[in-house]
Amino acid sequence: MVSKQENAILTGVGAGTPMGELMRRYWIPAAMSSEVEADGSPLRLMLLGERLVAFRDSNGEVGILDHHCPHRNASLFFGRNEQGGLRCLYHGWKFGVDGQCLDMANVPPHQDFKSKIKAKSYRTIERNGLIWTYMGQDEPPALPSIEATMVPASKVTFNWMQRECNWLQVLEGDLDTSHTDFLHGGARTVQSFAPDDPRRFGAANRAPEYEIEESEWGTMYGAFRPADPGETYWRVAHFMFPFWTITPSGPFGRHLYARAWVPMDDTHTMAMRIIGNAGKVAPGGSGIVTGLDDLMPNTTDWYGRFRPNTNAENDYLIDREVQRTKTFSGIPGIAAEDQAVTESMDAITDRSTEHLAPSDRMIAITRRRLLEAAEAIAQGAKAPGRDGSIYAGARGGYFIAPNGGSLTDAYRDAFGKTAPMNLALT
Ligand code: FES
Ligand SMILES: [Fe+2]
């Protein structure tokens, strides 16, 4: 439980809010490279409560600008993307990817002051199929070396889906492994899994214990339960500043996977799944679920990208007969199940009315770290995890280890034995 005041701090992402300022200290995945073509249509982009346009110029460079033209505020979304810049439809002013005004077409040359005009713009970098932007005013750090984002674009799969609620309540679903064997797997039994699939231990015991540690990049948990005699079944996951998770949903070492819960505004979130080794997992051996992309066609609306067909209006297509006889939820698919429960908590859930259990310790500790980091920023201190290279130390997944070791021991050991980057690249 947190107070109403702390809840407001955790959930507000606009410019000038404590959490909004914290998030503006990190590179943010904004769009897929494939969403903007050279000299193609500009893309409406809602990020941290700001209305932006993204476009790719004739040289292939990507610009992200405030959507209001600095002349008299017409939307640059309607602009012409032509020959090295975006030209506003209203009076023909043209802007480069850095926001610099390149042409003031309605002003005689001797009255021209284009060198003094810059549209509000944010830095961009592209890497492996993702467009990243930095929305802070200070010097940005290096891009985070999150393993799944280091995989070449030709090997990576993106599954994105919009959620109509605040970023933190959807992120917290990833820090809560115990829901997996209810919401997603409540009807599964030990016999649902192959005899050598470690997930059978989750079906046998739906109430794991947890170890939680603070890490350089955020927080980490290991949920543990008995496996075969002398062994423990671990599920390890991470929260990484400011809005990343790696869930334990695949076999450790074969699970190149990350999720960014990117706030569009306080009540809309772009859930980005980045899968670095799709197709490389053994049949039945992975928690990666395909076929989640039951999405409406994209529109150009501010909220028009990657909307699922399941939504509050159609009760997420819950089928009560299926719920009674086949699955625990009756809702079609893991993504829709998560969507239904997290959106049903209200657009911004009131955490002051919760009753947290030991299974929620990871959530409680992560909230505290976020509050501390937001407070530190407000005091002028450095944001945690600004060194992009440390993220390479985070990997999630499930594995079996001998009894008796701590989370740190078990994690280090499992990490040392596996090389998922090589798996992805071969
Ligand atoms: S409003 Fe854009 S050029 Fe005038
Ligand atoms: Fe879930």
Q: Tell me: the pLDDT tens digits for 214-261?
A: 999 999 999 999 999 999 999 999 999 999 999 998 898 888 899 999
Q: Which residues contact 60 (CB under 8 A, 6 or more apart)?
A: 38
pLDDT band at 278 (very low <50, low <70, confident <90, very high): low
Q: Could you tell me the CA-to-CA distances from 157 to 246, 259, 273, 310, 396 in Å, in that order?
A: 15, 12, 8, 22, 17
Please tell me the pTM assigned to this model.
Answer: 0.93
**Ligand 1 neighbour 95 (Cβ under 6 A):** no
Q: Which atom of ligand 1 is nearest to the CA of 92?
A: 3
Expressed in angstroms and rounded, the spacing between residue 65 Cα and the centre of ligand 1 is 14
> 16 in a domain, yes or no?
no
* 3 found inside a domain: no
> Which residue, 410, 423, 118, is CA-closest to 254?
423
- Predicted pLDDT of residue 366: 97
Helix H segments across 276-356?
320-325, 334-343
What's the 394 CA to ligand 2 centre distance in angstroms? 20
Residues 189 and 126 both lie in one domain: no
Q: Which ligand is nearest to the CA of 76?
A: 1
* CATH number, position 103: 2.102.10.10
pLDDT confidence tier of residue 193, bands split at 50, 70 and 90: confident
Say whether pLDDT at 283 is over 50. Answer: no
Pocket mutation for ligand 1, best pick of 75, 86, 91, 107 (most atoms within 8 Å of C-beta): 91
The CA distance from 260 to 252, in Å, is 19
Label residue 288 by pLDDT band (50, 70, 90).
very low
Same domain (yes/no): 126, 254 = no
Domain termination site, one of 105, 134, 163: 134
The answer for residues whose C-beta is within 8 angstroms of residue 21's C-beta and 6 or more apart is 15, 374, 377, 378
- Has residue 390 been placed in a domain? yes
Domain total for the chain? 2
88-to-46, 70, 191, 283 alpha-carbon distances in Å = 19, 10, 62, 52
Give the ligand at the shortest distance from the Cα of 69: 1
Q: By C-alpha distance, which of 78, 86, 94 is closest to 39?
A: 86
- Whether residue 347 is predicted with pLDDT greater than 80 in this model: the reply is yes
With respect to residue 4, please indicate whether it lies within any of the assigned structural domains. Answer: no
Q: What are the backbone dihedrals phi and psi of residue 167, each rounded to the nearest 5 degrees, phi first?
A: -60, -40
Q: Tokens 């500790």 label which residue?
A: 365
Rounded distance from Cα 329 to ligand 2 centre (Å): 12
Last residue within a domain, chosen from 134, 166, 194: 134
Structural domain boundaries, residue 109: 27-134
- Check which CATH number belongs to the domain holding 254 and give it: 3.90.380
- Residue 324 and residue 264 share a domain: yes
* 272 CB neighbour count, 10 Å cutoff: 22
Same domain, 54 and 198: no
Query: Are 153 and 126 in the same domain?
Result: no
The token pair that represents 370 in the structure block:
């976020």
* Ligand 1 pocket, residue 93 CB under 6 Å: yes
Instruction: Please give the number of the atom of ligand 1 that sits closest to the Cα of 72.
Output: 1
pLDDT over 70 for what percent of the chain?
94
- Answer yes or no: is pLDDT of 426 > 70: no
423: tokens are 């798996």
Same domain, 220 and 124: no
Strand partners, 160: 272
* Residue 152 confidence (pLDDT): 87
Residue 295 lies inside a defined structural domain of this protein: yes
Has residue 108 been placed in a domain? yes
Minimum CA distance residue for ligand 1 atom 3? 91
Contacts of 242 (CB under 8 A, 6+ apart): 22, 23, 25, 26, 370, 373, 383, 385
pLDDT for res 403: 94
Q: Whose CA is nearest to atom 4 of ligand 1?
A: 91
Q: What are phi and psi of 146, to 5 degrees?
A: -65, 130
Residue 93's beta-bridge partner residues?
Answer: 104
157: how many CB neighbours lie within 10 A of its CB?
Answer: 17
Q: What's the rounded Cα separation, in Å, for the pair 290 and 271? A: 15
Whether residue 36 sits in one domain with residue 99: yes
Tell whether ligand 1 has an atom less than 6 A from the beta carbon of residue 362.
Answer: no
73 CA: nearest ligand 1 atom: 1
| CB of 69 shorter than 6 A to ligand 1 | yes
The Cβ of residue 189 has, within 10 Å, a number of other Cβ atoms equal to: 10
Same domain, 130 and 154: no
Which of 75, 77, 90 has the most ligand 1 atoms within 8 A of CB, as the residue to mutate?
90
The answer, yes or no, to whether any atom of ligand 1 lies below 6 A from the CB of 72, is: yes
Please choose from 53, 68, 72, 76 the residue to mutate so as to test ligand 1's pocket, defined by most ligand atoms within 8 A of CB. Answer: 72
- 123 in ligand 1 pocket by Cβ < 6 Å? no
The answer as to whether 11 is a domain residue is no
- What pLDDT score does 284 carry? 35
In angstroms, what is the span from residue 87 Cα to ligand 1's centroid?
A: 9
Does 1 reside within a domain?
Answer: no
401 lines ligand 1 (CB under 6 A): no
Query: Quick one: pLDDT band at residue 195, thresholds 50, 70, 90?
Result: confident
Judge if 241 and 352 occupy the same domain.
yes
Burial of 362 (0-12, 13-18, 19+ CB in 10 A): buried
- CB of 382 shorter than 6 A to ligand 1: no
The token duo for 273 is 């799944």
> Which one of the ligands is nearest to 95 CA?
1
- Band (pLDDT 50/70/90 cuts) for residue 140 is very high
45 to 99, 123, 273, 303: CA distances (angstroms): 16, 14, 18, 8
Contact between 129 and 32 (Cβ < 8 Å):
yes
Q: Is 74 in the pocket of ligand 1 (CB under 6 A)?
A: yes
End-to-end CA gap in the chain? 46
Domain shared by 398 and 276, yes or no: yes
Tell me which of 66, 99, 134 is where a domain ends. Answer: 134
CB 233 within 8 A of CB 379: no
Q: Is the CB of 90 under 6 A from ligand 1?
A: yes
The ligand whose atoms approach the alpha carbon of 107 most closely is 1
Does residue 183 sit in the same domain as residue 244? yes
Question: Do 130 and 151 share a structural domain?
Answer: no
